Amino acid sequence: MSFTWTAHRFSGGALALDVANSVVLRLHPERRIDRFADGAAIDSFAEAANLYGAEKERFGIIGPVGSGSRQSLIGLREATDRYFRAQVRADDRPELLADLLEAIAAVVRQPANSGKYIALDVATAHSALSLVANPEPDRLKICPNCEWLFLDRSRNRSRTWCDMAVCGNRTKAKRHYRRNREETQP
């Protein structure tokens, strides 16, 4: 199956959250899709992060992950998702923070790439660490439609969906369809 990374896939507001969101329908095991199951998709994600990622200026050029580092990236992704999802739900468990910090350490202990770029896993580790070090709990949210993590950067912190053009429209269309259906039924 062919897949293209689009701007919508980078609506998390931080690289670490975008990486965590690379699992579609995470909470529905029967429909779950891991976009990083294919190593080529991880490489193309790094390329797309340079175009669409919210932190692209912060990191400069984000490059591919070494083949030996892919498991560390996946471990970091899962720890990031567990920790920040728990934070949104005000489930402050110290072991989740410990798991995240261990996953970050596992990535940053790996040998560095050439100076031409920062590897996706290292940039993701820095992004996650920045979110931990500078928490904004009232800005971290979970989209009610797709269940992705995102930072609400709106002035009044009222953003509901990860992406209004996709999830917001889908939710509104479903509501409109149900309302019209109820009106037409006898």
Q: Which domains occur in the chain, in start order?
A: 5-181 (1.10.3300)
Is the confidence at residue 169, as pLDDT, over 70?
no
Residue 142 CA: distances (Å) to CA of 23, 26, 97, 114, 162: 14, 12, 18, 36, 8
Does the structure show a pLDDT above 80 at 174?
A: no
Could you report the per-residue pLDDT of 75-99, keeping only the tens digit for each?
A: 999 999 999 999 999 998 999 999 9
The pLDDT of residue 114 is 66
- Residues 17-31, mean pLDDT to the nearest whole number: 95
The confidence score (pLDDT) of residue 108 equals 92
Cβ atoms of 87 and 135 closer than 8 Å: yes
pLDDT of 177 > 70? The answer is: no
In this prediction, residue 4 has a pLDDT band, given cuts at 50, 70 and 90, of: confident
- Tens of pLDDT, residues 35-80: 999 889 999 999 999 999 999 899 999 999 988 889 999 999 999 9
Where do the H-state alpha helices sit in 28-161? 39-52, 56-59, 70-88, 94-108, 120-133
Nearest 5 degrees, angle CA 36-CA 40-CA 41? 40
- Structure token digits, residue 70: 């892919």
User: pLDDT of 101-160, one tens digit each?
Assistant: 999 999 998 876 667 899 999 999 999 999 999 988 889 999 998 999 999 998 898 888
- Return the closest-CA partner of residue 123 out of 51, 64, 37: 64
C-beta neighbour count of 35 within 10 angstroms: 17
Q: What is the pLDDT of residue 31?
A: 94
